[in-house]
Amino acid sequence: MNKSPSPRHFLTISDLASDEILFLINRALKLKKRYKSDLPYRPCIGKVLGLLFEKPSTRTRVSFEAAMLQLGGNVTFLSSRDLQLSRGEPLKDTARVLSRYLNCLVVRTFGQEVVDELARWSDVPVINGLTDQYHPCQVLSDIMTVMEHKDEDIRALKIAWVGDGNNVAHSWIQGASRLGFVLALACPEGYEPNKEILNTAQAKSAAPITLMTDPKEAVKGADVINADVWASMGQEQEASKRREIFAPFQINEALLAKAKKDAIVLHCLPAHRGEEISEEVLEGPHSLVWDQAENKMHLHKAVLEWAMEL
C-alpha cells in the first residue's frame, strides 16, 4: 500500500492555511455540482476509510460513509467499545495497526489529545470528526453553506454565535481567524470559549472576533446566526442546569428580528426545539439546516481527496 511519509492529518482548522480552506470549500462546491449531475467520480476504488467513534453520530458518520462509498471506496465503522482499545490497548499501538489496513481514519472522541496521539502514530491521515474541543469538518461545511448562499465575500459578513462556547464555537473562532470575517459570540458567563483558543485566534485575525454576554448585540446586523445544543455530548448531567442558564440565548423570531433581513440561520444539528432554537426559526425561511447537513457529505469528499492526496 502506498503511504505518504508525512500524512495530511486534519485535527483543527488551524492546521490549514486560508488558501487550503478556500480550496477545500471550492472543491466541495464542485463535487456537489458533479454529484447533482449524476457524473460518477471514483478516485477511491480499492481504498478503505475507517471511522473510529466513541460518541454517537448521525450526520458525521453517514456523510463520511456515503462520501467514501460514492468516491468508489469502502468503509469500516469501528465502535471503540468493540476494539481492544476498550480493554486497554494503547492508542499508539491501535494507530500503527490500523495504518496497516486503512488509507484514512476519521475519529470522534472526547479529548483532543486522543486524536493528537492517534495522528502522531498513524501512517495514514487522521481526520477529527469531533472532539470536546473542536469540530473542524463541521465548520468547514458550515462556511461552505454560507459561501454557497451569500453573494458577498465572506470577509464582508458578520457571523454570530449564540450559546455555549463549545467545540463548534472553537472551530468557528479558528475559521474566522484564518479567513478574516467578523465573528460575534454571545455566551453566558462561565460558558465562554477557551481563553487560549480565543486569544490566539484574536491575535492573528484580520477582523474582530468579539465575545459578549448579550445575544441581541451579537445578532445585531448579522448575516449568519449559528446555534448549537446547550449541553454537548458528555455533558448530559448538566443539561437541566444549562437549560435555565441558557434560556435567554434561544434563537427565536424576536432575536432573529435583530439580524439583517436576509440573515441565514445555521444549526449543526441535532436540534432541541424549544431550547437553543424555536420550532418556527428552525423550520422557517431563514433556516438552512438541511442544506447545511447535506453539505457535510460534499465537504467530506473534498477533505478525503485532500487527505489521501488523490
Q: Which residues bind ligand CP (CB under 6 A)?
A: 57-61, 130, 138, 268-269
d(Cα 93, Cα 76) in Å, to the nearest integer? Answer: 18
The nearest distance, CB 258 to ligand CP, in angstroms, is: 26
d(Cα 49, Cα 69) in Å, to the nearest integer? Answer: 9
The nearest distance, CB 138 to ligand CP, in angstroms, is: 5
Residue 295: name the closest of 149, 169, 171, 194 by CA.
149
- Determine which residue in the list 229, 299, 302, 304 makes contact with ligand NVA, applying CB under 6 A: 229
Q: What does 232 bind: ligand NVA, ligand CP, none (CB cut-off 5 to 8 Å by kind)?
A: ligand NVA
251-290 residues near ligand NVA, rule: CB under 6 A = 268
d(Cα 183, Cα 95) in Å, to the nearest integer? Answer: 36
Treating both helix axes as pointing N-terminal to C-terminal, what angle do 91-101 and 112-121 enclose, rounded to 10 degrees?
50
Does position 162 interact with ligand NVA (CB under 6 A)? The reply is no
- Listing DSSP states for 91-118 in one string gives HHHHHHHHHHH-SEEEEE-S-HHHHHHH
C-beta nearest to ligand CP: residue = 60
Does position 54 interact with ligand NVA (CB under 6 A)? The reply is no
Burial 152-172, CB ≥16 within 10 A → b, else e? eebeebbbbbbbbbbbbbbbb
- Determine which residue in the list 13, 68, 124, 168 makes contact with ligand NVA, applying CB under 6 A: 168
Q: Tell me the three cell numbers of residue 78.
A: 469501528
Q: What does 58 bind: ligand CP, ligand NVA, none (CB cut-off 5 to 8 Å by kind)?
A: ligand CP
Q: Which is nearer to ligand CP, 266 or 307 (CB)?
A: 266
The nearest distance, CB 46 to ligand CP, in angstroms, is: 27
Q: Is 100 exposed, middle or buried (0-12, 13-18, 19+ CB in 10 A)?
A: exposed
d(Cα 146, Cα 160) in Å, to the nearest integer? Answer: 12
Residue 165: name the closest of 200, 100, 212 by CA.
212
Q: What does 168 bind: ligand CP, ligand NVA, none (CB cut-off 5 to 8 Å by kind)?
A: ligand NVA
User: Strands 264-267 and 224-227, how do they pair?
Assistant: parallel
Q: What does 292 bind: ligand CP, ligand NVA, none (CB cut-off 5 to 8 Å by kind)?
A: none
Does position 295 interact with ligand NVA (CB under 6 A)? The reply is no
Q: Which is nearer to ligand CP, 29 or 269 (CB)?
A: 269
Q: Which is nearer to ligand NVA, 211 or 268 (CB)?
A: 268
Under DSSP, is residue 124 helix (H, G, I), strand (E, B) or coil?
coil
Q: What does 167 bind: ligand CP, ligand NVA, none (CB cut-off 5 to 8 Å by kind)?
A: ligand NVA
The nearest distance, CB 123 to ligand NVA, in angstroms, is: 29
Does position 232 interact with ligand NVA (CB under 6 A)? The reply is yes
For the chain, helix (H) and strand (E) counts, in that order, are: 12, 9
- Determine which residue in the list 54, 223, 228, 276 makes contact with ligand NVA, applying CB under 6 A: 228
Segment contacting ligand NVA by CB under 6 A, of 109-117, 142-150, 185-193, 225-233? 225-233
d(Cα 109, Cα 86) in Å, to the nearest integer? Answer: 13
Write out the residues near ligand NVA by the rule CB under 6 A: 130, 135, 166-168, 228-229, 232-233, 268
